[in-house]
Amino acid sequence: MEEMWSKVLHVLQRDIMKPSFETWLSNTTGELQDDTLIVHAPNEFSRDWIESRYKTHIANAVKEVTGKDVHVEVQSGLGEPEYQQEFKAPVRPKQSLEDRVARLEKTLDFKMNDEDSPIDYITGQILALDQQSQRQLIQKLNQEHDLPIQQWIADDKT
54-65 pLDDT, tens digit per residue, is 999 999 999 999
Helix (H), strand (E) at residue 14: helix 2-15
125-144 tens-digit pLDDT: 666 667 777 777 777 777 76
CA dihedral 25, 31, 33, 35 (to 10 degrees): 40
pTM beyond 0.75, yes or no: no
d(CA 147, CA 5): 68
d(CA 26, CA 6): 10
Ordered by where they begin, the domains of the chain are 2-83 (3.30.300.180), 105-149 (no CATH)
The amino acid at residue 123 is T
Question: Given a cut of 70, is residue 152 above it in pLDDT?
Answer: no
In the prediction, which pLDDT does 3 show?
85
pLDDT confidence tier of residue 74, bands split at 50, 70 and 90: very high
